[in-house]
Amino acid sequence: MTAKQVNPGAPLSVHQSSRAIEWRISDAPVDYPQALEFMETRVEAIHAGTAPEMVWLLEHPPLYTAGTSADDNELLDANRFPVYRTGRGGRYTYHGPGQRIAYVMLDLSRRGNDVRGFVHDLEEWVIRTLAHFNVIGEVRDDRVGIWVRRGAPNNPASREDKIAAIGVRVRHWVTFHGVAINLEPDLEHFSGIVPCGISEHGVTSLWDLGLTPSGPELDSVLMSTFDEVFLTSSRHD
């Protein structure tokens, strides 16, 4: 399905058969507590069958979040930005302007009750999105997120940097939280934490890699690649 052109502030409905997924796209940064409250309310409504599944694309003002595995020693500058404890999986991460967040609220009871498969689909979604911009994103067994190689593999100066974070929570078999893709954030803001508990690797962004897509361009690709991954998987009914 080709993504429709929409006003970034307006919701978009994407249909497969008789089931709809609502897309919500926010222009202005959304306060984290407001986003969390919205997700929790929407999860209950999806579970009750009174609201459709949703993907919400947004940004937050600069802040740090601590997942369920967060180590306090990995918060290097507690006074720099607000810090929020959250029930998603993972450790500390940064959110801020220039980072596209996709909060994904899907009913896994319609999708085989497969949490591991859902996380794999999130990874595949980000990888396909990055591929549209000729960026090779990869996963690693020993660390979460999506990574890009910088330099030739056999070059001693080569490295791997993280370009997207993944953290999810599931309640009543309905997912929330999701992925964060670095479009053009201030990468120095990551220095106040040990991102996801990984100190031996860095962070990057599409703009840091020399690519300059706009936010609406990234949103359009996210919508089209979402269809490729989530609306065609054999786990879906």
Please enumerate in sequence order all residues whose Cβ is within 8 A of that of 229, keeping only pairs 6 or more positions apart, or say none: 121, 124, 125, 128
- Active-site entry in 196, 198, 203, 229: 196
- Tabulate helix, strand, coil % of the chain (nearest 5): 30, 30, 40
Q: Which SS3 state, helix, strand or coil, does residue 71 take?
A: coil
- Strand extents, DSSP E, the chain: 12-16, 19-25, 53-58, 63-66, 83-85, 92-95, 99-105, 138-140, 143-150, 159-171, 174-182, 202-203
CA 30/CA 211 separation, integer angstroms: 25
For this structure, is 196 an active site residue? yes
CA 182/CA 155 separation, integer angstroms: 25
Which positions are annotated as active-site residues? Answer: 196
